Chains A and B, each alone.
Chain A
Amino acid sequence: MGRHMHLAVSLNIAAADGQDVLDFGQISAFVRDLEAAGVDMAIISDSAEAPSSSPFEATTLLAALAAVTDSIGLVASASTLAHQPYNLARRFASLDIISHGRIGWNATLAQNPREAANFSRPEGFSDDDFRRRAKEFINIVRRLWIGWSRDALLFDKASGRFHDPEKMHPMNFTGEFFSVRGPLNVARSPQDRPLLVMSGLKQADLDFAIRADVVLLDKRQPPEARAACEEIKRRAHEAGRDPRTIKMLAVADARQERDGGSLKALCLSSGCDGIVLTVQPRADALKDFVERLLPDLEQHGFAKAKPGRTLRDRLGLDEDGRS
């Protein structure tokens, strides 16, 4: 087949058990190994059902990783309960500028029950309310990211005009859960919008997934994943979007995978554009992954995309300036 199979690696730093937590040196060395091997992106998350003892939060860790890597895509999970849309949009736009266009936000539509209790919502959210709120949140963030036109900054010292006031657009949004005037006080980022990576989708969310750049199909058997892929691509086509610009990745656990061949088979039978391998946040698991599984994945045709100017380029996604 002519197309590349994309390869992402997912590291949930909060999944550590016991005292064996990774320090920044270990995590950054691992991500640089992934970068050297041509892995498209590292997905960092920091939320688990039980409290962890990891010393880091995902978005701050991502900023530090951006400062010590050059070409790998960097994605962080950030919860719609733990952040406000304006703050989250600023943070990821900043990360995209810091990394020169290598950032994505993993927005999950699955609720972690621990969060509401720690974010002043002891009554919690029903699953339905949580999803409706998350969708409104995601729509706000996507609009805030393009509140400044690409050519808004003039930097014209002689005339004294720093930016063009006509090219800064407030959004004036009022919805069911949020009201946000905008615009961001962060410039338009190199990718226009950081990648929107969606996970935790249920069947009822598939129409919403057409906003995503990357969809993670977790907890699905290959036939089910194939059906979800086809469904999302069909809906994207109906909505006037090129279905090839949404990348579907099948999720697999690195602990259970012995070789690249079986993962290639999984990718093909799921009808996906690539795979995400979840790696346990322990030094021995990282070492095993880099030394054993990664070379075999390369042999089987994964991680062959050329590094692009941005993560969007690398994955063959369009520049995303649509409003």
Chain B
Amino acid sequence: MSTRQMKLGLFLWATGHHIAAWRHPDAHVTAGIDIDHCIKLARTAEAAKFDMVFCEDAAGLREANVNIASQTSRSIGFEPISLLSALAAQTERIGLVSTASTSYNEPYGLARMFASLDNLSGGRAGWNLVTSASPIEAANFGATGLRPHADRYARAREFATVVTGLWNRRAAGHDGESFSVRDRLDIPPSPQGAPVMVQAGASDDGKDLAARTADVVFSAAQTFEEAKAFYDDLKARLAAYGRQPDDVKIMPGVAPIVAATKAEAQAKYDALQELIPDDVGVALLSSYLSISDLGRYPIDGPLPELPESEGMKSRQALVIEQARRDGLSIRELARYFAGARGHWRVVGTAGEIADELQARFEGGAADGFNVMPSWFPGELDAFAKLVVPELQRRGLFRKDYEGRTLREHLGLKRPV
């Protein structure tokens, strides 16, 4: 049995991570308004000994085009800190991690909310710091009266410094560029000392902020090489902040589809792909490729000739090239993108999925994975029933919790 074991997070998101998940015949379509459903999912993950449940968040709608938005289930859901506080009372061991923005909160208020969640759960809380770039969110906070700031990462750095200072009882009083705080935090620490700090920024600024402050980093990587490059890059940045490689756990997202046979798993995936409405798929592809008018080309035809654009990233260029080489139609390419959302998709048997996870874990490309079931509850149930026991059998994942707090699950030091 290997001594090092992988960490697993359950990325909880509405009806599921596939864009058309809610249309699956067995998907729980009212997930965004059903607390009992969410409790059940968290308990499933806890019974499978997952390290944490993770909730994404945005302070606004995710899609500006109301026609496209109305064909997805992503416009409504629970505010995650409330959701996780309710889950804290209905679970015993699993970590509870919520996203919250440094652009639309104040550090004193956010420090209080997460400290309270940490106490309610007996030391199981974590905060996923995001800086929020979406103009849809910005319009909900148009004239906040907050101080103007040069850039959102400068604000985020100051925000994180103030929050961790409050949690760790450093000297009271802060008067900085964006924030001022007079008192110490009026909420005492939980059994884990302070909530776990999580981040997912992939930009240079994002990785640097993560190296400075994060305990856990979520990432998105399709290939082993991409995952490995991100992993090495981030771990190499830690020394500059006096930190050890093991102080930060890197957990890429994985979107598995598992079944008893490879053919069965592939059929499950194909059936989901069929449920993606054409205009939704094309709209998502258009925005990914930064092309505004893809909808006016024949959907069963090839991608049109596209001018080289400034905003196009190298990976997008590779995608276009591959689509041409494989002779994919716009519809085929659109479905491919809409389904995976840029994350790593693995379709196969429990053994095959375990092989893939093991290769990245042992190959130095991941410390664990943030599991993104395609639809709930079915694909979570399947992962818990088929893949988790296979990982346990190989000694790659725990058979029972070693500790009580999220820091203990993750093998993290207490904050100083």
Contact = CB atoms under 8 A, between A and B. Distances in A.
B186 interface: yes
A306 to B, nearest CB: 24
B120 A60 contact: yes
Interface string A72-93: 0000000000111011001101
Interface stretch (A163-171, A196-204, A276-284): A163-171
Interface residues of B, number: 73
Interface in B44-103: 58-62, 66-67, 69-73, 75-79, 81-83, 85-90
B33 interface: yes
Contacts of A179: 139, 142-143
Given A60-B85, A67-B90, A162 B78 contact: no
A120 B108 CA distance: 9
Nearest to A47: B186
A82 B82 contact: no
Secondary structure class of chain B's binding surface, majority of residues = loop
Contacts of A36: none
Given A186-B76, A186-B78, A56 B35 contact: no
A287 interface: no
Contact of B79 (A28, A64, A90): A90
A165 B113 contact: no
B119 A91 contact: no
A185 B76 contact: yes
A55 B187 contact: yes
B336 interface: no
Nearest to A154: B70
B60 A118 contact: no
Contacts of A122: 175, 180, 182
A185 B60 contact: yes
Contact of B70 (A57, A63, A157, A161): A161
Contacts of A181: 60, 136, 139-140, 142
Looking at B22, B35, B109, B182, the one whose CB has the most chain A CB atoms below 10 A away is: B109
B206 interface: no
Interface residues of A, number: 61
A5 B301 CA distance: 71
Contacts of B72: 162
Interface string A52-75: 111111011111111110000000
Secondary structure class of chain A's binding surface, majority of residues = mixed
B277 interface: yes
A66 B85 CA distance: 10
Given A51-B184, A86-B141, A160-B277, A120 B116 contact: no
A165 to B, nearest CB: 4
A187 B76 contact: yes
Contacts of A97: 33, 35, 78
Contact of B146 (A120, A165, A174): A120
Interface of A: 14, 24, 28, 51-57, 59-68, 82-84, 86-87, 90-91, 93-95, 97-98, 114, 117-122, 148, 153, 155, 157, 160-165, 168, 174, 177-183, 185-187
Interchain residue pairs A-B with the least CB separation, the first 3: A179-B142, A63-B85, A57-B116
13 contacts: A51-B183, A57-B187, A60-B82, A60-B116, A63-B86, A82-B108, A94-B83, A117-B181, A122-B182, A155-B29, A157-B22, A157-B25, A178-B143
Interface of B: 22-25, 27, 29-30, 32-33, 35, 39, 58-62, 66-67, 69-73, 75-79, 81-83, 85-90, 104-106, 108-109, 112-113, 115-117, 119-120, 136, 139-147, 175, 178-184, 186-188, 190, 275, 277
